[in-house]
Amino acid sequence: MDTIVEVIDEENIDEGALEVLKKAGSIIKDGGLVAFPTETVYGLGGDALNPQSSMKIYAAKGRPSDNPLIVHVADMESIKKIVKEIPDAGYKLAEKYWPGPLTMIMNKSDAVPYETTGGLDTVAIRMPSNKIAAELIRCAGGYIAAPSANISGRPSPTEAKYCVEDLSGRVEMIIDGGAVGIGLESTIIDLTSDVPMILRPGYITKENLTELLGDVSVDKTILDANSKAAPKAPGMKYRHYAPKGDLTIVEGDSQKVAEYINGELKKAKGQGLKTGVIATSESAPLYNADIVKIAGSRDDEEEIAHNLFSILRQFDDEEVNLMFSESFDDTGIGQAIMNRLLKAAGHKVVRV
């Protein structure tokens, strides 16, 4: 299959851009796949109400088909068709956080095929704020199932070039809308349990959600490598976000972390390995790696979240074999950062 790549400027969706989006919408309505930008990461979209489209998404990503997809909508009205009912908390959250980086899980209606929900009776729903995404959803008939637009297991794509790398020849079209804003996937909250439960941390934090809903619980498996419990979000059990080389997180006092990592870097150089470190702007000068990447200032979680996946991809591009990362606070957006970083490292953590 030839993959068409089209560039659209989110801030200037002109006639030409609308033509492209109509064409992309027709591809999806006809059962094809289109990768597109959202404010979180790039999505790999197909018609959420067409079981064949969902099967194609799993095949294109190499994703296990028991890992459900998120259904993307452009307005509240559309949701009524795909759920049994919208709980009160759903209205509250939508009012404050939609369109935006929050996914809500509700009981599904018969309109949603089990292929889309990985066999579950619940459906995950999100209304993205990216204008290209919103217009594409309208052009595609209102319901786009879209996981992140990467090959399963790799870091989620924050730029179109990474979709091209992973999905060329596997999808009909890739829409290049530039670098994404947030850089981490949406927060997922399950509204089907008595107490709403966060299944995946993201830009919208536990603190944000608790403030609005009162009692909110967090799936225990989010940061815990040793938990025997199965994650409530089926996808979270799979290896995820992993760079090609070996990544270890080093935790502890900043000086000691630098000493430990520099010691390991020295050994690695002796073995001819290419090395990388994920550091902060404060600590970067401490490291002697081949490549030191600054995720951001330690005080700026949004910046760190924004840069994390692209740093992991850059290490792949630069063929780095051995990587170390500093650890980050696991409060606020830090919970999402640490969740992704721990998975990328296969939960390899050294405490010094």
Query: Binding mask 236-265 vs ligand AMP (x if CB under 6 A, - otherwise)?
Result: x-----------------------------
Question: Which is nearer to Mg ion, 40 or 148 (by Cβ)?
Answer: 148
Question: Which is nearer to ligand AMP, 120 or 242 (by Cβ)?
Answer: 120
Residue carrying structure tokens 């909508």:
73
* Nearest position to ligand AMP, beta carbon: 235
Least separation in angstroms between residue 241's CB and Mg ion is 8
Nearest residue to 81 via CA among 108, 54, 106? 108
Bin 245: left if φ > 0, else alpha if -120 < ψ < 50, else beta.
Answer: beta
Return the residues of window 118-157 that contact ligand AMP according to CB under 6 A: 120, 122-124, 147-148
Nearest residue to 260 via CA among 272, 270, 248, 273? 248
Spatial separation of the C-alpha atoms in residues 249 and 230, rounded to whole Å: 23
The residue from 50, 53, 78, 117 that contacts ligand AMP (CB under 6 A) is 117
Q: Which stretch binds Mg ion (CB under 5 A): 148-156, 192-200, 283-291, 332-340?
A: 148-156
148 sits near Mg ion (criterion: CB under 5 A): yes
Angle value at C-alpha 183, between 181 and 187, nearest 5 degrees? 105
Q: Which stretch binds Mg ion (CB under 5 A): 32-40, 48-56, 93-101, 140-148?
A: 140-148
From the number of C-beta atoms within 10 Å of its C-beta (0-12, 13-18, 19+), residue 108 rates as buried
The residue from 33, 105, 184, 268 that contacts ligand AMP (CB under 6 A) is 105
Spatial separation of the C-alpha atoms in residues 13 and 195, rounded to whole Å: 41
Least separation in angstroms between residue 240's CB and Mg ion is 7
CA dihedral 84, 72, 97, 219 (to 10 degrees): 70
Question: Which is nearer to ligand AMP, 51 or 252 (by Cβ)?
Answer: 51
Whether cis (ω within 30° of 0) applies to the bond prior to 234 is: no
Rounded to a whole number of angstroms, the CA Rg of the chain reads 20
Q: Residue 239 corresponds to which tokens in the numbers above? A: 């290896």
Least separation in angstroms between residue 143's CB and ligand AMP is 14
Question: Which is nearer to ligand AMP, 28 or 70 (by Cβ)?
Answer: 70
Binding-site size, Mg ion (CB under 5 A)? 1
Query: Any alpha helices (H) in 244-285, and if so which ranges?
Result: 254-270
Question: Which is nearer to ligand AMP, 287 or 309 (by Cβ)?
Answer: 309
SS3 category, 117:
coil
Question: Which is nearer to ligand AMP, 82 or 94 (by Cβ)?
Answer: 82
Question: Which is nearer to ligand AMP, 118 or 245 (by Cβ)?
Answer: 118
Return the residues of window 39-98 that contact ligand AMP according to CB under 6 A: 67-70
Q: Which stretch binds ligand AMP (CB under 6 A): 3-11, 22-30, 227-235, 310-318?
A: 227-235
> Pairing mode, if any, of strands 70-72 and 144-145?
antiparallel
Q: Residue 287 corresponds to which tokens in the numbers above? A: 């490291």
Q: Residue 270 corresponds to which tokens in the numbers above? A: 């002796």
- Interface residues with Mg ion (CB under 5 A) are 148
- Interface residues with ligand AMP (CB under 6 A) are 67-70, 105, 117, 120, 122-124, 147-148, 185, 188, 199-200, 233-236
